[in-house]
Chain A
Amino acid sequence: MFGEQQRFMVLLIAPAALLLGLFQVVPIVIGANASFRDWALYNPKKTWVGLDHYKAVITDPAFLEVVLPNTFIFMIMSVAGALALGLGLALLLNRPFRGQKIVQTVLMVPLMVAPVIAAIMMRWMFNDQFGIVNAVLEGLGLEGQPWLVERWSAFGIIVLTDVWLWTPWFTLLLLAGLQSLPKEPFEAAAIDGTSAWRVFSHLTLPMLQPVIVVCVVIRAIDAFRTFDIVWTLTGGGPGRSTELFSLYAYVLAFLNLDLGRGSAAAIVGGLIILVVGIGLYRLVDRVTKT
């Protein structure tokens, strides 16, 4: 059926296909199957229930009114914050100064910190009794805050942690982008008497746009799936007020041990991010083509 060349090609593809199948396709199929069944630790019969779990998830007020908005607000704020800071740092680093290499290396440190550790660090810094943030505030004569006990301050700290973690990543990629821009248009602009702001808004930004868009797409999809820092910082609390999508699915499946409902939630989330992802990829396509 196959020629020798085709057999060789199949042989080359086989290991990757096998891995992908075993660790991606099979679990997804099992999960999808589970999402149509009533399957919990206390009820292991796996009765077929059709779309019941899906209905339950998409009509769950906690999912609709807390988890989904939280997830998108987190995604937008975290990506926007890290992008703005990363771009600022990249612009500052994109000029020769003494110690440029050292500063650049130091700025990369958060990239090497495991998110869980960063989150634990933050949790202690913002601890209302022993945290350094409150200690400093009180030292300045201000009142300490119960940071992680109130919804929006807790949410803010989650975003802050994520921004801190991911700013260097943006810096690194945007700096590489900046350094690959041709010099001459900037020299021409200097001769044309262009102000620094106009150089930034009319040359740097548009020329860097393809890099920015790709970074944003990758990070946005990634941010949608954030679990570790939220789990460590607030566990979704106070109450369920800082719960993100992946926590929601995790709690359903592995804390409530309702595997059917959890799988349905995971697949709903997967579909959402698929749609968002396709939209963002379209955007990349448009930007890189024009």
Chain B
Amino acid sequence: MAAIVLDKLNKHYGSLHHAVKDVDLTIADKEFVALVGPSGCGKSTTLRMIAGLEDISSGEIRIGDRVVNHLPPRDRDIAMVFQNYALYQHMSVYDNLAFGLRNKKMPESEINAAINRATEMLGLHELLKRKPRQLSGGQQQRVALGRCIVRNPLVFLFDEPLSNLDAKLRAQMRIEIKRLHAQLPTTSVFVTHDQVEAMTLGDRVVVMKDGRVQQAGTPLDVYGHPVNKFVAGFIGAPAMNFLEVTIAKEGDTLIARSPAVKLAVTEASSRALEAWQGRQVIMGLRPEHLALGDGVVSRSFAAKVEVVEQLGSEILLETRVGDTRVTAARVPPETIVAAGDQIRLSVQPGRLHFFDPETEMVIAA
């Protein structure tokens, strides 16, 4: 059993920099949690505090049933994968894998067996005699993973392990890590600034900004029901479009209106929006929920195409709606459309998000 509990965790650097603010988070045994956020949001600091590489300014960290605040890293029974692999460059792959076990004075035969198991899982057999310098980035990171696996720790910590890899390798390693976690269910915390990694890997995604947890939930949850404008804009690619609209009522239906847009609100959120009649709100719509064409008139608006990005599988359209830019994705690749064209974009029902312009919190989910 190795749940991790962060309780009112804080980290100050000097008196000016408050890197991590009151982070409360419970990570269940064998759960894979992805900490995601822009650089400087405190995610890495949080991870390093769990690892014991940074002191805790205030608050408490528990791993299993132990408070680990004052335990040095080696007594926390954790293993960590670093962004730049942190392999011991002058040792062979085998010695890298064996290093942590030799620290524990484990007999060589057991070390050998543990390394065999790990290399089997990661396909490292042919590389055992090589030095890290002779390996590609992906192979090095696989060795770093192996170094964690052989120790069979309570917790895996990942500090942006895929950031130094190129896009193709990153996608491969993502799958590899996912497979690994299925084979060896171990409580894992994965720090990344890449929301795709966070969404694909995490059982749960924790979005951080400015040292605070903004939202913690399943990938579908943070995507479908972002609690504020930041999470809405951060999760999802291409990023969500935001338009300033005024809420009004026409007959029985609420409408969201701006000089360029007039949309009927049929969302479940409409009840919460009643109170916002006559006031300005921020409306969010995801590029992938916009379709080319009229659809229902009350659910569509005019846009002017500025840039056409042909991806082969789909077209991304950069358009201008009034004076805001709106991106539309999932346009069929065969569509004939060119910059300067006037088009209409329609919104799928139930896909609008509304945010309080001052607090930026969601008005209704």
Chain A residues within 8 Å of B, Cβ to Cβ: 182, 184-185, 187-195, 198, 202-203, 206-207, 209
B156 to chain A, nearest CB (A): 11
A191-B80, A192-B100, A195-B103 known; A203 vs B72 contact (CB < 8 Å): no
Q: How far is the CA of A215 from the CA of B73 in the complex (A)?
A: 34
Contact A188 B80 (CB under 8 A): yes
Contact B90 A206 (CB under 8 A): yes
Q: How far is the CA of A189 from the CA of B96 in the complex (A)?
A: 10
A193-B103, A194-B103 known; A202 vs B88 contact (CB < 8 Å): yes
* Dominant secondary structure of chain A at its interface with chain B: helix
As a 0/1 sequence over residues 60 to 86 of chain B, the CB contacts with chain A under 8 angstroms (1 = contact) are 000000000000111110111010111
Contact B89 A191 (CB under 8 A): no
- Residues on B with beta carbons closer than 8 Å to the beta carbon of A207: 89-90
Q: How far is the CA of A192 from the CA of B76 in the complex (A)?
A: 10
Contact B103 A184 (CB under 8 A): no
Q: Which residue of B lies closest to A203 (CB)?
A: B88
As a 0/1 sequence over residues 310 to 352 of chain B, the CB contacts with chain A under 8 angstroms (1 = contact) are 0000000000000000000000000000000000000000000
Q: Which residue of A lies closest to B51 (CB)?
A: A191
17 of the cross-chain contacts (CB-CB < 8 Å) are A184-B84, A185-B86, A185-B88, A187-B53, A187-B80, A188-B80, A188-B147, A189-B88, A191-B51, A191-B52, A191-B53, A192-B74, A192-B79, A192-B99, A192-B147, A194-B100, A202-B99
Contact A192 B151 (CB under 8 A): yes
- Residues on A with beta carbons closer than 8 Å to the beta carbon of B104: 193
Contact B72 A190 (CB under 8 A): yes
- B115 at the A interface (CB under 8 A): no
- Residues on A with beta carbons closer than 8 Å to the beta carbon of B103: 192-195, 198
- B87 at the A interface (CB under 8 A): yes
Interface size class of B (residues with CB under 8 A): 20 to 34
Contact B51 A194 (CB under 8 A): no
- Residues on A with beta carbons closer than 8 Å to the beta carbon of B151: 192
A193-B74, A203-B88 known; A187 vs B99 contact (CB < 8 Å): no
B21 to chain A, nearest CB (A): 24
- Residues on A with beta carbons closer than 8 Å to the beta carbon of B79: 191-192
A24 to chain B, nearest CB (A): 39
Selected contact of A190 from candidates B73, B85, B88, B99, CB within 8 Å: B73
Q: Which residue of A lies closest to B144 (CB)?
A: A188
Contact A187 B82 (CB under 8 A): yes
A57 to chain B, nearest CB (A): 44
Selected contact of B74 from candidates A191, A202, A206, CB within 8 Å: A191
Contact A191 B78 (CB under 8 A): yes
As a 0/1 sequence over residues 98 to 129 of chain B, the CB contacts with chain A under 8 angstroms (1 = contact) are 01100110000000000000000000000000
- Residues on A with beta carbons closer than 8 Å to the beta carbon of B91: 202
Kindly name the residue among B52, B85, B100 whose own CB sees the greatest number of chain A CB atoms within 10 A: B100
- Residues on B with beta carbons closer than 8 Å to the beta carbon of A195: 103
Contact A182 B86 (CB under 8 A): yes
- Residues on B with beta carbons closer than 8 Å to the beta carbon of A188: 80, 82, 86, 88, 147
A166 to chain B, nearest CB (A): 27
A187-B82, A188-B80, A188-B82 known; A193 vs B100 contact (CB < 8 Å): yes
A188 to chain B, nearest CB (A): 4
Q: Which residue of A lies closest to B88 (CB)?
A: A185
Q: How far is the CA of A187 from the CA of B72 in the complex (A)?
A: 11
- Residues on A with beta carbons closer than 8 Å to the beta carbon of B53: 187, 190-191
- Residues on A with beta carbons closer than 8 Å to the beta carbon of B89: 185, 207
A82 to chain B, nearest CB (A): 25
Q: How far is the CA of A187 from the CA of B84 in the complex (A)?
A: 12
Extra inter-chain contacts (6) besides given A185-B89, A193-B73, A209-B90, CB under 8 Å = A184-B86, A187-B73, A190-B74, A192-B79, A193-B74, A202-B91
